[in-house]
Structure 1
Amino acid sequence: MASTESSTYEGFTAEERAAMKEHGQELKKAARRGSRADKVVEAAQDVLTKIAEMQESDRIMAERVHAVIKANAPMLSPRLWYGMPAYALNGKVVCFFQSAEKFKARYATLGFSDLAKLDEDAMWATGFALTEVTAEVEARIAVLVKNAVS
């Protein structure tokens, strides 16, 4: 197969490399933590710290998403995942918030892993663009996270 300029692999972006580096640091930090209870508490604090560091528009959305997830799926444990706030069940990420700033995107994303029970027919959404978190959006997120862990 002939290679064309448009199909040439350019490698990972600087943002992707930074996310992978953050993930490695997260794994090392988690391995150094003490008891399971300490790990859960410290991981939750890491998420709140990461949210606090976000630019204002992303921070406001991430705070609301965090509150909705905690209220509607309290069995999910907050943790960082590739430098993003994420929510895990039995140590495996079910959903995450990706700020627009993280990958220089025009919108933030609420994403779900394949562990989320969102299956609907032969095709369903696993990522949702967020430009603001209104009461209507909060209600939709609540339904999604409840379904994801049902």
Structure 2
Amino acid sequence: MADKTSENLSQIERDAVKARAKELREQAKAGKNREAGAKQVQEAVAKLEGLDRQIAEAFVALVGDVAPELMPKTYYGFPAYANAAGKVVVFYQPASKFKTRYGTISFDESAQLDDGDVWPVSYAVVAWNDAAEKKFRALVATAAS
């Protein structure tokens, strides 16, 4: 069965799975160490280029300002932030990771952005500007509360 599954994954997906396993081992060693998490996030951002890097840097600064209580960590190599229970709340997936048209800022279930029967949890980001920053400030504040 494992062979069947690996045959269905692209090389990029297989690499992501391997990277995630390594990431989890490193996070287990570091425990809930803010400095170790911040270092992992900075290393992930440093690997990015162009617009991906610009957005990731702005995202990291925004979360640090709006929700300093969230713990920095990486999530499949993405800059991410978790709540006190260790659950990822928000992360940035750069376009370059899976060769997509745009990067996304996404909120996991623990963000509890619930708004009626349907609500968005992932946002395509093609530019970082005042409007984007305002939108994400409000979303991150809600997600962190």
Partner of 1:52: 46
Partner of 1:101, secondary structure, is: helix
**Aligned counterpart for 2:142 among listed residues 138, 143, 147:** 147
| 1-structure distance, mates of 2:76, 2:43 | 14
**What is the distance in 1 between the residues matched to 2:35 and 2:141?**
22
Q: How far does residue 14 in structure 1 lie from its aligned partner after superposition?
A: 1.8
Is 2:17 the counterpart of 1:20?
Answer: yes
Q: Distance in 2 between matches of 1:31 and 1:144?
A: 29
In percent, how many aligned pairs have the same letter?
36
Task: Determine the structure 2 residue equivalent to 1:5.
Answer: none
Matched length:
138
Give the alignment of 1:54-133 within 5 angstroms: 54-90=48-84, 91-133=86-128
The TM-score, its normalising length taken from structure 2, stands at: 0.90
Unmatched segments (≥5 aa) in structure 2: 1-6
What is the TM-score when the length of structure 1 is the normalising length? 0.87
CA-to-aligned-CA distance 1:21-40 (integer Å, 9 cap, x gap)? 1111011112233x64xx32
Secondary structure at 1:145 match in 2: helix
What is the alpha-carbon root mean square deviation over aligned residues? 1.3
Question: What runs of 5+ residues in structure 1 fail to find an aligned partner?
Answer: 1-9
Bigger CA radius of gyration: 1
Q: Give structure 1 regions of 4+ aligned residues with deviation exceeding 6 angstroms.
A: none
1:32-43 to 2 correspondence within 5 Å? 32-33=29-30, 36=32, 39-43=33-37
Secondary structure of the residue that 1:85 maps to in structure 2?
strand
Structure 1 CA distance, aligned partners of 2:131 and 2:105?
Answer: 15
Whole-Å Cα distance in 2 between the matches of residues 86 and 106 of structure 1? 20
Give the deviation of 1:18 after TM superposition: 1.4
- Greater percentage in helix: 2
Amino acid in structure 2 at the alignment position of 1:76: L
